[in-house]
A and B are shown apart, each in its own frame.
Chain A
Amino acid sequence: MLEWLLISLVGACCVPLLARVIARGAGFLIALLPLGLFVVLISTAPVIERGWVRSAGFPWAPSLGLDFTLRLDGFSFLFCLLVTAIGALVTIYADGYLASKSPAERSRFHTLILLFMTAMLGTVLAENMLVMLMFWEATSVLSFLLIGFEGRSGRARRAALMALQVTAFGGLMLLTAVMLIGNEIGTYSMAEAVRQADRLVGSPSGNAIVACILLAAFTKSAQFPFHFWLPNAMQAPTPASAYLHSATMVKLGIYLLARFEPVFAATSWGRNTVITVACLTMLVSALQALRAENFKSALAYSTIASLGILVLLVGLDGPAASVAMVGFLLAHALYKAALFFCAGSVIHATGLHSLRAMGGLARFLPLTALACLGASLSMAGIPPFIGFISKEFLFEAQLESSWELVPLAIAVVVNAVMVGVAGVITLRPFFMGRGKVTQVRNHETLALAAPPLLLAAAGLVISLEPGWITRSALRPAVAAVYGSPVKVDIAVWHGITPMLMLSGVVIATGALIVRFWRPIHERLRAVDRLDRLAIERFWGMGLRGLITGSRRLTRRLQHGDLRRYLLTVIAAMVLLLLWSAFAGGVRPRFPVPDTIEIAPTLIAFVALAGAIMAAVGRSLIASMVATGLTGISVAITFLLNGAPDLALTQFAVEALLVVLLTALLLAVPLSSPVTRGSGMRRFDFAVAFAFAAVLALGVIDMAASRHPSAVSDLYGRLSYVAAHGRNVVNVILVDFRAFDTLGETTVIAVAAVLARALLPHAHWAQDTAPPPATHFSFRMVGKPLFWLLLASSLVILWRGHNDPGGGFVGGLMAALAVAILSLAYGTARAERAMRVDPMMLVGLGMLLALCSGVPALLLGRPYLTQLWWEPASWLPAVGTALVFDLGVYLVVLGAVVTFLLGLQKEAAR
């Protein structure tokens, strides 16, 4: 069976290309694919006949419980027969129907139809519910694509979207049900789920599982109140309507219900709900079928009524209901597909849609008229057609079930309406009203006439010669649905039975409806309340409300005010922190008070004073200076507390920030107009203060709970022994955590690329701007300072492994040297002094840092394991860590110079 699906899938992708090559009759060749599958299926009939079940599969993702398992039993077999047989006819028919389309469009249609066939086969063959779900969703998507086949028509697009919304909602429900089942019983096997139906229903999620399954089935099979998508789906080309929206896809809901009957039957409300929904569907659709003006919509509403009957039969208990369901499934698929084909031929021939405009077409389309007659007789349940037999079964099932007579009465009425519709759609277009149509655009061809004729004939042949189909398809299917073998006796004449008498009533009423169709139709059409209360309208309103609502919400959330965004973020952080602290019952601890030294405290307060000054200062210059004051004070604090590396880096950064921000401040206006009112400022202060208060409490709590850090201890012990470095901070950066550092270096390189991209730059070193007018003393000392700083940056880089220093701070120092050069003599001079484009330095540095890890890789050690070489005891050890650090140095130097020169040049423009 796996190979069937594979052939079907591959074939669906390749075979339709024939339609691009062959102008006429490609459909007959393409139909060989579904036909071949049909023949292969027939050859397995002896296995099915004995009541055996064929299985196949392979483990796909076993850890998820997802095994690609397939199962072919009687019920699946019946579906597969219908899908392949009607699939073959649809391909042939489509060739005639789409004759006026371009080869590319025909080929696209055939591809979609065959892909849909694959999806259908997969759905009914799947044993694992996840696999079934996958194919189930594929049918929804393909249905969407086929309904919207005429993508230029707005109505087709709308109908396609509506069908997708409804059926995809059902798909989500099915997903939920499958997940809940898998969660409950630990497997996604459908057989296992059905076997453990009582346990499923007894579980806490039992009701949810049943509700989700019912919703999935009702949406797919267009049951009230989800029925409205199906009449709209008639926007699809008629062959697709015949295939998807009457014969096969819409029956998947029935398939699902029949498979899970033991599950929903185990709840107290399952059967009641199914039967009530089925009855409502039947009534609503029968009414609408009488109101329908178009050939196709009359068929669509009668299809919904038939689906209602099928759902009703699944809901009823007793073996007769199963027999009736399977029998009616087959009969309906045969006659309704034929009728759709006929409707398609009429539309193709005349271009008319309205039933009232048609008449006397039997003269032009004799074969179609014959097929329509045969199919309609079957639909009306006239003996000896198969429709008659299935109707007998239907009444027998209702009489035998333990149900009251209301559903029976509804079934009688609905069947009478179906007789009426069958009569109207045959007599009006083809036989009555001669002369309404005087000429047709397209005459019938073999491709257009043969499929409906074959289907209509099948309806007759099966009822007269029921032996093979009963043995190999119907009886195994009933057994699979009911759970044990049931006697299935197909015969036209059973003697005078209550069922026969009911049939008589139905046919008599139906004849009256045909006779008085026009007044009934016009009277019903006049009741426009039915249109106003249509579910479709509410659906549309709901959708519009959703879109308007989300638009309003978006406008509210995306207001475009940066300050309010940030306020929201900060306030949310405060609230979340407080909430988690309260929820966890955490109370902050306080550290043991220790001595407070005067000098460090004063420096810390200078930092705080700087921060306050920066916050309240009016002028941007003052704010910048105050910010620098804070930075420098923090750097001194680092220095006082055993962190010389940090102090060095912070000093360099603060110095560079002054240079860079001055370039910025020279361009923008310094006196900043007030952008916040006093109320806003107070509010901002409150939020910022709240955040800081929470933060302070957290940090104090953290300081109170000191525990020795194992990782710091490890690095302290191994730094010299394993990594040949005495400065532990630097060893961590270039060796122990070199990969982290590599990432951070990359961030800086990316920032440089960003700055270069944002700032339009003149061609490198072709700046002709005159040097700035600087003070004489600065011009005198500029060059010596440059060399001094450059040399010291190299020293800092080199000694970093054993003493404070390293690549980061070295790079910053070197950049500072270039900054002095550009301040004293202008950017052009600084660029010339650099010799190369700073972006080159960034690239080179990245390359060095990346390559320094490769030697270890070659020796089979992890990437970025630093290697060392000690030539002699009096020579310094050299290692790849130095190359890495050099890379960092170059990246930082290149990046900062890119920022510096870019900002200075842009500001001066």
Chain B
Amino acid sequence: MLALTYDVGNIWLDSLLGVLALVALMTVSALMLIWLERKISARIQMRLGPMRVGPYGLLQTAADALKLIGKEDLRPKTANRWVFELAPFAVFVPTFAALVTIPFTRDWAIAFLDLGLFYVVAVTGLAFVGFLMAGWASDNKYALLGGMRAAAQLISYEVPMVVTLVAVAMVAGSLNLSEIVLFQNRIPLFVWQPLGFFIFIVAALAELERQPFDIPTAESEVVGGPFIEYSGIRWSMFFLASYTSLLIYSLLGSIVFLGGWEWPLGTEAGLWLQILLILVKTSLFIAFFMWVRFALVRLRIDQLMSYCWKVLIPLAFLQVFLNGLVLVYGWPDGFLLLTSGAGLALAMYIIYRAVDTEPRELRMVPARGGGSSAQAATVDATGSG
């Protein structure tokens, strides 16, 4: 198989080229994603978003990045120096390392690992250490609260995420991401496993710390959480890491559930079509994550935890159990679709029952004639006058 970069025959040069390619990809995509997020948020909030720097404000994020690099790298006097300064790397490196094994097309990846899925999950799961370090070392109570929230949230949501991915690996029969994609060359997995797909999206939202799960960095409560004391280039590393993980989870979702670069129904796709397909599928995830961010409010930490442990994890195991039944007894995939769909309906029903959705009626006490007759009075007045 070909690697993403040109094969020069020297393993060290190869690795260096691969890292450079990834850094370029990551930086450019993060710049684009930040611009896109600002534009989407502006659309939702009836604003224009960045318009001044470059056409349609395209260069705004580049200007912001330059500004951040030029800023002073502040460190609180009472902060624990080494932990404080290393924390951005502890967040940044795992997200970066996860990109290594993502296959972008059939032949393009830095490394085709047989345990690719396992590797991605294991490496991204390390990021919470960085949040905890940042929260603890900043010597700030908001940062501490945020760091603790981040640790609790990331570890909890790692569990349903891993279990649904296990369910996928069971039916695909491999942990190799390329083989999981090839397994879906006829019909993507989200059709057969809607429940697993749903759990993956929710867990990914939580792992990305986006609304409605942006509890660790809640702007109106802990004012940025672990990042509160960071400035300049260290802060921008956190920022870069968060957008890189957005890219990674979107890529992972499109590979594992939407069939990656494959055109459905077994058609062979050429290289450019493959690139286009994975771009479109990843963009769907990214657009969804961004849309949700500006359309929902934040959950509370106890609600978040109970939702994970009481709803998502049991349902994720249900998906594993259903997949096991299908594999052992060789039942048709249609059974999986029906039962998994029923599981999704169950998940929705649990949410519906857990939330007090009863519409509240206000008691209206009329002052003089009351508002309903006031409407009529207005009509009278305009009619006679």
Is B a genuine binding partner of A? no
Query: A residues near B, CB below 8 A?
Result: none
